Amino acid sequence: MEEKKTIGVLTSGGDAPGMNAAIRAVVRAGLNSGFSVCGIRRGYQGLLERDIFEMDLRSVSHILERGGTMLYSSRCPDFAEDRNIKKAIEILKEFGIDVLVVIGGDGSFRGAKRVAELGFPCIGIPATIDNDIACTEYTIGFDTAINTVVQMVDRVRDTSQSHDRCSVIEVMGREAGYIALEAGIACGAISILVPENGPLNIERDVIAKMVSTLRTGKQNFIVIAAEGVGHAPYIAEKIEQLTGVTTNAVVLGYVQRGGTPTAKERVLATLMGEKAVELAKQNLFNCVVAIKCAKVCHYSFDEALNMKKTLDADLLRLSEEVSV
């Protein structure tokens, strides 16, 4: 008879709504497929500190609807050192864990890839509100984050409209403009500023369009800026100076990372969690679960980490065409 295998699961890097749905799916699908499942708290840091516990079907009750991660998350600079990766592998073996499922972003996958290179089987599930993991169309957390941004901007817009003002909304995304682009289209922003377009040129990227739009009679404006482009208070000050329109700044910050996951988020995270278990069942390791053409698939760590992702040119064009 084949020996019962154990999955270890952790969440790492920035938290994202829907991580809990993925944990739940890994635990429930894992147990239903005959694995034991261990939870590892606080990502790689908790692994190095042996913060590991056995999970059962009820360990993941009532987490589907909660933001954050019941396993907690962390950034663990010590994981940059080979000796700590080796120590992590020894600890995984000590707890009888046979495969490690890492729910996180690119950085977390780079850590998992190094664990895999030293011979320990790993599987990644992409989770970050930034949606900037190249191998997948969708990362856990993105849908909830953009819906949160849209709700917040709709509220700010009421005041912008009542008072004929401009509001500059700073959203998350140090290096990626996915949140800014999709939320900006959904909110009808006059300008969407993304880091992928290079350094900010306020005249070209905002003022020219605002001035021509003012001539058509519109007097209130929403500008969405990804944090990587520049800070909203600076952009707002410049807009007010150059157009004369009273302009305020709103920095949304961590409200975007928390909150109840959307239904779409829960469904996709559940699909991805189950896929990770399916891969483990088939002894397919050292890969990342992904969504391609709305279907779940997987790529090797090497493939996944070498892919490049660019903003959808059609969406960029669309935002230019209709927000006038």
CA distance 142 to 241: 34
Per CB under 6 A, 194 contacts ligand F6P:
no
Report the site for ligand F6P in 245-284 (rule: CB under 6 A). 257
Instruction: Determine the interface stretch with ligand F6P among 172-180, 214-222, 271-279, 287-295 (rule: CB under 6 A).
Output: 172-180
User: Distance between CA atoms of 236 and 233, rounded to whole angstroms?
Assistant: 5
Name the residue nearer to ligand ADP (CB basis): 76 or 193: 76
Q: Judging by DSSP bridges, how do beta strands 295-300 and 287-292 pair with one another?
A: antiparallel
Among 60, 129, 133, 224, indicate the residue that binds ligand F6P (CB under 6 A). Answer: 129
Is 302 an active-site residue? no
What is the contact surface with ligand ADP in residues (CB under 6 A)?
A: 12-14, 44, 75-76, 79-80, 104-108, 110-111, 114, 128
173 makes contact, choosing from ligand F6P, ligand ADP, none, with CB < 5 to 8 Å by partner type, with ligand F6P
How far is C-alpha 191 from the geometric centre of its chain's CA atoms?
23
Kindly state the smallest distance separating residue 76's Cβ from ligand F6P, in Å: 13
> Which residue in 9, 10, 14, 252 binds ligand F6P (CB under 6 A)?
14
Q: Give the rounded distance of the alpha carbon of 89 from its chain centre.
A: 27
Core vs surface per residue 135-145: b (16+ CB within 10 A) or e: bbbbbbbbbbb
Contacts 24+ apart (CB under 8 A), 314-320: 315/181, 315/182, 315/185, 316/181, 316/192, 318/185, 319/181, 319/184, 319/185, 319/189, 319/192
What does 111 interact with, of ligand ADP, ligand F6P, none (CB < 5 to 8 A by kind)? ligand ADP
Choice between 128 and 191, CB closer to ligand ADP: 128
- Number of chain residues interacting with ligand F6P (CB under 6 A): 8
Catalytic residues: 130
Where does this chain bind ligand F6P (CB under 6 A)? 14, 128-130, 172-174, 257
